Structure 1
């Protein structure tokens, strides 16, 4: 038994069961019936305490702290990459060392130009160096607290390492680049500041190089048609070159 999971070896095939449900429903039985009976009595005595504890945890499971940060890079203690597991192929089944943790994520407040700090209970596998949650659990949490996943300054991957896309963003209304503070123009970000931001985004896997180039291409083709946008188009073209040079330099060490 590890935590709330019972592992049973069936002729070399490792099966997992939820505790205590597997004993209560007689899905599993102990050879020593007296031992199982005593365990069930202990579970029954603790049910009320467990319900009260679960209720308390549920109410306190997510906290949102308003902040004055406008630059996500300046917020300390954030996690930028989350693994969402949708199958039984997970760290617990593979008996990896897993601990329960509270993860701090940056959330762009749609009503302001600042980031809120959202704390969500998840898990951490020290062997894989992954912060993770079950996909259904995470999506239910977001729905419960009315949080839009597209406003998190984070990337999400499956148990196989593939990026998870929940819905296509309307690039005219909100882009990930804009969410992270990217902008062009004489009175906004300089070329050096933009490239520093792109460096941060790529380093933390917040966007892939292809996603960034796709957004910049969209800007050039559609926004760049407007009057007096020549300087902006020039900046976007420079940034495409910067991303290409970044790829050529070998700084990107992951593959989706």
Structure 2
């Protein structure tokens, strides 16, 4: 059996911040030539799918916004399932999350809200954490995009959405409903777009605890690249193990191309 589709993480796999980790145009040219379908699943909620479309276009790759599942769109789809008519939320997050939630019928309020919904906010304040804590302690459901405590940057790993989530959980004693990676919900949304099955799909990521674990939970083959958060030392001691390990995305794609995209067992 051959791989028919790939789900890519982005940060730490394709780029770090604004710096591409390879010639992305060449990578996706190879996938297109082999008729491999692909989607992108990122736990970054600070950008919308359209913004990611524009970012990857800077590297010479043309995609549609529908190919991008962010933790923001993922959270919005879950909230829409639970609150079909939309409504007010107390939101901690940047414009990318606020805009996506608005597209799904949700808007920012500070009282009488359906739920508290959060994601990465690089300008988060104590007052925001306090307000979220009070609302949750008074019974508001608590949702968060993803659990990543950190994410890669050119300066090294820096605090992620999970660091904010953990602070609110510590203050309230309430665990957030978190549908982003490593939950299967996000990968199932990607598979729905790809019209593919887990058995013929490869998940590529740089984190064992989100990308790889999520792929395993969904039943996909998984490949770890060592250009992001997870190091070879982390891999040695972890109970979470990918099907394949590569130094970088170039080595991975070259290996798959040489095997004629066959699933290696």
- Indicate whether the TM-score tops 0.5: no
| TM-score of the two chains, using structure 2 as the length reference | 0.27
| TM-score of the two chains, using structure 1 as the length reference | 0.28
Greater relative contact order structure (CA < 8 Å, 6+ sep)? 2
